[in-house]
Amino acid sequence: PKAANIATQTKPENITIAVDANGTIYWNNGAVPDTQALLEMIKVEAVKQPQPEIHIRGDAQARFEAIGKVIY
């Protein structure tokens, strides 16, 4: 057998941003007060190396505009 000394790279945790039918935004399982707070949270994650994946999910009953605020 051969031994190798390879540094282990820790993967960041994925982040889920969800919008419910009422337009409430959630960061993982916690409610976000407004889109400005969401932007600040994303800025913190954006400078991390490696960057985490962000998954955006919208409730089937959510208005497209509510989900659009998260994307744009």
The yes-or-no verdict on residue 1 having pLDDT over 80 is no
Sign of the alpha-carbon dihedral angle for 72, 58, 52, 32: positive
31 has pLDDT over 90? yes
Query: What percent of the chain is predicted at pLDDT more than 70?
Result: 82
Give the C-alpha distances (Å, rounded to integers) separating 1 from 4, 6: 10, 15
Q: Which of 23-27, 42-46, 56-60, 62-66 has the lowest mean pLDDT?
A: 62-66
Contact 32, 41 (CB under 8 A): yes
> What is the C-alpha separation between 55 and 41, in angstroms, rounded?
14
pLDDT at 12 over 80: no
Whole-model pTM: value is 0.74
Is the pLDDT assigned to residue 11 strictly greater than 70? Answer: no
- Read off the DSSP letter of residue 14: P
Rounded to whole angstroms, the Cα distance separating 70 from 44 reads: 16
